[in-house]
Amino acid sequence: MSADEGQFNLDLALESLQDLLSDKRVPEQVRESLAVDYAEVEEMLERMQQGQLHIAVFGRVSVGKSALLNALLGQEKFSTSPLHGETKTAQQGQWQEYESGNIFLIDTPGINEIDGGKREQLAKDVAARAELVLFVVDGDLTDTEVQALKTISAQHRPIILVLNKIDRYQAHEKERLFNSLELHSAGLVDKRNIVGAAADPAEQFIIQLDEAGNETESTRKPAANVEQVRARLWESLQSEGKTLSALNASLFAGQLSDQVGQSMVLARSEIGQKIIHSYCAAKGVAVAFNPVPVADLIAAAVVDVSMVVHLSKIFGLPLSKSEAGSLIKTIGAQMLLLMGTVWAVHFVSSALKLGTTGLSAMATGGAQAAVAYYSTYIVGQAAEQYLAQGKSWGEGGPKYVVREILDNLDRDSIMEQAKQDIKSRLSKA
């Protein structure tokens, strides 16, 4: 990929992050619930503006992750120890200058530590925020490592698979291991990205003979061998560094956008439920006390239209009264098919009001009010689902949505709620 293409992708990603941060449509309560994620977006935006790239090291305990990073840095920045699981938290160190910014190497806890569930999650989180991942092993892949590779690969992160401690193997053993690694990581790691390293070579025992034939024993610490890793890293960064940064930012922005969308739907749904219950109670009261037969049904329809218009504004998809009426007709047609008995009771109760007065009229009106409450509740739930899906019924159409609502409703509970809401509304009248 050319430098111009990389810069173009990076500019698009920067714009995407900036738009995400400045979106005025996101309610404050949603921003507060996702405060940590928004902070990460701001951090990522700053990193990109400064030209920073993050490379995370990943792997089991004691495979030499910290030693590998130290060898790349040329200094003892990261803690290494023979003790199991020396790295407890994510640590980072600045590597070399890269164009206008810097490269940072990030060490993470081992993925198989005892009682290390939280540490493993931390390692995965760091890997998800990095532009590139160094996955370090010291032998053939274990089941745990294969699963971890799949997790990272699913996050669309480029992976360089490093076989560390190659100084411990004979030539034929190394060949066998590299072939096995290529086989078991197929589809997860580009075979060009499978390299060897000896980040912390074992001491060599040396016996020297002098001219007199006397033996002298000594040990020698070989220099670290990470040239394959270094070369592959720089090749990847120089050819695709900006693109990797753009990809990482875009993926994270997409994830946050999904979270924002889900939170907004949830927040709107909570408000929507309050609105639905309010209109249900209002309709119930209006129907119960309207002395004119059939006219109460007309009034009820007006209430339903007002409710749908109100809901549409909450979901940011405003409907006109005419559009709301058409939507209610669609819902009502399915209700008529699926719950004709309820609608029949509604009309019969209305007609009975012609010849009733006093307490009997109140009793009939009360029954009809409960039915009106129930029907409006269903209309509200169906309309909310339609709006939450961006003015769409989904693949199943309106019949499926209404049927699903009816199947999942506890009619007795709704009717009891209707009595309580109507009673509460009357007590305030």
Considering 140-144, 286-290, 370-374, 417-421, the range whose residues carry the highest mean pLDDT is 140-144
User: Taking residues 13-22, what's their average pLDDT?
Assistant: 69
Q: Which CATH superfamily is domain 3-259 in?
A: P-loop containing nucleotide triphosphate hydrolases (3.40.50.300)
E strands along 108-214, which residues? 132-137, 159-163, 194-196, 204-209
Question: What is the per-residue pLDDT across 269-280, written as a single tens digit (0 to 9) for each?
Answer: 888 888 888 888
- Provide the pLDDT for residue 97: 52
User: Taking residues 285-302, what's their average pLDDT?
Assistant: 58
User: Taking residues 92-118, what's their average pLDDT?
Assistant: 69
- Judge whether residue 32 has pLDDT over 70: yes
- Judge whether residue 344 has pLDDT over 60: no
User: Taking residues 312-329, what's their average pLDDT?
Assistant: 88
pTM: 0.55
Q: Which two tokens stand for residue 135?
A: 């996955």
Quote the CA–CA distance of 312 and 326 in Å, as a whole number: 13
Question: What is the per-residue pLDDT across 186-204, written as a single tens digit (0 to 9) for each?
Answer: 999 999 999 999 998 878 7
Quote the CA–CA distance of 271 and 311 in Å, as a whole number: 9
- Provide the pLDDT for residue 423: 73
Considering 18-22, 59-63, 202-206, 218-222, the range whose residues carry the highest mean pLDDT is 59-63
User: Taking residues 67-72, what's their average pLDDT?
Assistant: 89
Q: What percent of the chain lies above the pLDDT cut of 70?
A: 68
**DSSP class per residue in 322-349:** HHHHHHHHHHHHHHHHH-HHHHHHHHHH
Residues of the chain with CATH 3.40.50.300: 3-259
Pick from 6, 109, 91: nearest CA to 55: 91
- Judge whether residue 358 has pLDDT over 50: no
Question: What is the per-residue pLDDT across 212-260, written as a single tens digit (0 to 9) for each?
Answer: 777 777 677 788 899 999 999 888 877 666 666 666 666 566 666 666 6
Q: What is the dihedral of CA 112, 117, 120, 122, to 10 degrees?
A: -160
- Judge whether residue 9 has pLDDT over 80: no
User: Taking residues 382-398, what's their average pLDDT?
Assistant: 90
Question: What residues form DSSP beta bridges with 190?
Answer: none
- Provide the pLDDT for residue 84: 41
Residue 387 · residue 317 · CB < 8 Å: yes
Question: What is the per-residue pLDDT across 129-187, written as a single tens digit (0 to 9) for each?
Answer: 788 899 999 999 998 888 888 888 887 778 999 999 999 999 999 999 999 999 999 99
- Provide the pLDDT for residue 359: 35
* Average pLDDT score over the chain: 76
- Contacts (Cβ under 8 Å, ≥6 apart) of 144: 60, 111, 112
The distance of Cα 351 from the centroid of its chain, to the nearest Å, equals 54
- Provide the pLDDT for residue 4: 58
